[in-house]
Amino acid sequence: MNKPIPSPQPSRGPTEHEVRAQIVDAATDYFSRYGYEKTTVSDLAKAIGFSKAYIYKFFDSKQAIGEVICANRLAAIIAAVNEAVAEPYGATEKFRRMFKTLLTAGSELFFADRKLYDIAAVAAAEPWPSVGGYEARIQDLLTQIVLQGRESGEFERKTPLDETVNAIFLVMRPYINPLLLQYNLDSAEDATVQLSNLVLRSLAP
């Protein structure tokens, strides 16, 4: 297992992709059990049965592997949210479902596996680029929901759109940023319902 499987095609793209995926899967498993912070690339190499040098052919560092894991989990959260707010809901219901799903999927993907939270905490503290992308996606989705609500007459239109979106994002942030969520987990479900109601009152025409 110390060499990549030779590709039948001239391009080694797909093979490289497969090996990368194999490393990421094994690392996800390993980090879940032993934590991200305490694991070294050597530990990982030993566990997968690859040489350390071989892993470094595909990833520059442990962080590079962690970033892929983090990006995968964040993408899964966004996918869950997109599914939750798919038509035919009105803007009010979409907003509630979005906030609720962000909390549920986020808690599940980062806290059910308590050890994987390690990665989320490092990612959010630095922050890693995937976290910035994740927050931008949420803000985009929020913008769409607010626009829909303004068009349908569910929401007020006086406040500048970016101010509305940014302020709502600030309200949600303690429950979608894992670094903050760790302090809010116990009461998060009730809190997000109450905060959804407050935000919706602020959006009333």
The residue ranges that bind a copy of itself (CB under 8 A) are 156, 159, 163-164, 166-168, 170-171, 173-174, 177, 179-180, 183, 191, 194-195, 197-199, 201-204
- Shortest Å, Cβ 166 to a copy of itself: 6
Nearer to a copy of itself, 28 or 192 (CB): 192
| CB of 159 vs a copy of itself, minimal distance in Å | 7
DSSP line for 155-175: S--SS-HHHHHHHHHHHHHHH
Which helix (H) or strand (E) element contains residue 97? Answer: helix 91-107
Residue labelled with tokens 């599940």: 108
Residue 113, Cβ density class (10 Å: 0-12 exposed, 13-18 middle, ≥19 buried): middle
- Asked if residue 37 lies in contact with residue 122, where contact means CB atoms within 8 angstroms, the answer is yes
Q: Find, among 192, 193, 175, 176, the residue nearest to 184 by Cα.
A: 175
Name which of 53 and 198 has its Cβ closer to a copy of itself: 198
**CB-wise, 86 or 198, nearer to a copy of itself?**
198
Sign of CA dihedral 194, 196, 202, 205: negative
5 DSSP 8-state letter: P
Q: How far is the CB of 124 from a copy of itself (least distance, A)?
A: 8
CB of 96 to a copy of itself, least distance (A): 14
CB of 47 to a copy of itself, least distance (A): 33
Comparison of 47 and 191: residue with beta carbon closer to a copy of itself: 191
Q: Which is nearer to a copy of itself, 61 or 197 (CB)?
A: 197
Q: Residues in the chain, how many?
A: 205
